[in-house]
Amino acid sequence: MNHLAWIEISKAKIAHNIKTIREINGPNTIISPCVKANAYGHGLIETTKILIESGVEWLSVNSTEEAQRVRSAGINHPILVIGFVAEYELEKIFDLNLRLFISNINYAKKLSDLGKSRNQTANIHLKIDTGMHRHGVLLEHSSNLAKEILKLPNIKIEGLATHFANSDDPLNPAYFNRQLEKFKIAINNLKKIIGHDLIIHCHKSASVLLSRDNIGNLIRPGISVYGYYPGPDVAKLTKEKNMILQPALEFKTIVGQIKNIPENSLVGYGCTYKTTRPTTAATIPVGYYDGYDRKLSNKAYVLVNGKKAPVLGRICMNVTIIDITDCGHVKSGDEVVLIGQQQSEIITVEQLADWANTINYEIVTRLRESLPRFYI
């Protein structure tokens, strides 16, 4: 591999994860996987193509910019923009044939006016805020909003959606259940007001995996598509049901310079590590710029020759120093695993998240977008 650092992605594992999600939800549920944030670090376009080969019907992106990239790759699947769309971007909704969330009448009017001037109709999904208190219209204002939107000529209410705040905490289900109840009330009210069939969606990975309520006919799974669980409790309960996701991504680099340094040598910026023995140190050409979090300094290890090589001192922007004293014969150019398996050792995304005091979502989405990605 003639690269300093790269990411390998298994097509079969992504396909397996989609199959698992499909089995849980049945054949009639539309899967609209989240490919936002560079497909959770897996590479927007290539991953989207794998997902389409795996049978997903829709795509969820964060922004019109991501949608533009998907369309430019010749992909014509329905796209739902689940993030904020600014007024200056509304033309793109029509240009690119996108669906978007709406929770505000002034905004809806602008969209309709634009549609009128173009002789086009926008498909929108009403986003109900049932308790996340991020995007969306509060339940108590949702019926009025729907009635106002129905008066607008160039907008069609195609769907209803909400988003859960803590569906990844199945041991404390009260708030989730409250949100679900509110959503059910909204659906009941709005169906009567709108009067035609609607696409209804609320589930992301946690509630998809735990099948916590089969409400709706579309799901928006993100992290699970890529083989990771949204938290340890969801992981435990999902695995107990014998549904095992497969992490799709490995992050690799090569050994750079190797050098023997004496006992009691200080290593790296800030001199935060002191060797406790004569040490064979090596550099790897990966740093926090690549998404190898600086909080991993003095905590993480990588794999060299199937053995653990601890990170020594602070992670630099483009370089990390590792201890290869116990890794046997190592030469410059040898493969190093930062995430993934080497012989019998594995470093998981969750392990890195634990070391860096964050979540698996942040580890994968921060992987530098311009790193070469290989789909195997």
Q: How many residues bind ligand PLP (CB under 6 A)?
A: 12
CA pair distance 80, 24, nearest whole angstrom: 22
Nearest residue to 299 via CA among 284, 314, 287, 279: 314
The Cβ-side half-sphere exposure at 135, using a 13 Å CA radius, reads 17
Which one among 42, 204, 252, 314 touches ligand PLP, defined by CB under 6 A?
Answer: 204
Minimum separation from the CB atom of position 302 to ligand PLP (A): 26
Instruction: Indicate the residue among 8 and 129 with the shorter CB distance to ligand PLP.
Output: 129
Residue 243's alpha-carbon distances to 21, 42, 228, 237, 339, in angstroms, are 9, 22, 12, 9, 22
Binding status of residue 99 toward ligand PLP by CB under 6 A: no
Minimum separation from the CB atom of position 80 to ligand PLP (A): 9
Which one among 25, 29, 47, 205 touches ligand PLP, defined by CB under 6 A?
Answer: 205
Instruction: Indicate the residue among 161 and 324 with the shorter CB distance to ligand PLP.
Output: 161
Q: Is 366 annotated as a binding residue?
A: no
Does the active-site annotation cover 259?
A: no
Taking CB under 6 A as the rule, which mask of x and - marks residues 133-152 in contact with ligand PLP? Answer: --------------------
Binding status of residue 373 toward ligand PLP by CB under 6 A: no
Buried b (16+ CB within 10 A) or exposed e, 209-225: bbebbeebebbbbbbbb
Binding segment for ligand PLP (CB under 6 A), chosen from 117-125, 151-159, 222-230, 364-372, is 222-230
Nearest residue to 230 via CA among 9, 34, 44: 34
Minimum separation from the CB atom of position 126 to ligand PLP (A): 14
Given 192, 269, 274, 289, the catalytic residue = 269
Residues in CB range of 263: below 8 A, 6 or more apart: 275, 276, 277, 278, 279
Binding status of residue 312 toward ligand PLP by CB under 6 A: no
> Cα angle at 249 between 74 and 312, to 5 degrees?
135
Instruction: Indicate the residue among 75 and 132 with the shorter CB distance to ligand PLP.
Output: 132
Minimum separation from the CB atom of position 34 to ligand PLP (A): 5
Binding segment for ligand PLP (CB under 6 A), chosen from 64-72, 84-92, 216-224, 317-325, is 216-224
Single-letter code of the amino acid located at 270: G
Residue written as tokens 């259940």?
177
Q: Are strands 307-310 and 273-274 parallel, antiparallel or unpaired?
A: unpaired
Binding status of residue 366 toward ligand PLP by CB under 6 A: no
Instruction: Indicate the residue among 162 and 320 with the shorter CB distance to ligand PLP.
Output: 162
Helix axes 11-25, 44-53, angle to 10 degrees: 50
Which one among 43, 136, 159, 230 touches ligand PLP, defined by CB under 6 A?
Answer: 230
Structure tokens at 110: 């602008």
Instruction: Indicate the residue among 40 and 288 with the shorter CB distance to ligand PLP.
Output: 40
Nearest residue to 337 via CA among 357, 307, 365, 315: 307
Taking CB under 6 A as the rule, which mask of x and - marks residues 53-82 in contact with ligand PLP? Answer: -----------------------------x
Helix axes 44-53, 64-72, angle to 10 degrees: 70
Does the active-site annotation cover 269?
A: yes
Which one among 5, 7, 24, 34 touches ligand PLP, defined by CB under 6 A?
Answer: 34
Binding status of residue 365 toward ligand PLP by CB under 6 A: no
Buried b (16+ CB within 10 A) or exposed e, 58-87: bbbbbbbebbbbbbeeebeebbbbbbebee
Q: Is 212 annotated as a binding residue?
A: no
CA pair distance 263, 333, nearest whole angstrom: 26
Binding status of residue 33 toward ligand PLP by CB under 6 A: no
Tell me the binding residues. Answer: 134, 317
Tell me the binding residues for substrate. Answer: 134, 317
> Which positions are annotated as active-site residues?
36, 269
Positions touching ligand PLP (CB under 6 A) are 34, 82, 163, 204-206, 220-224, 230
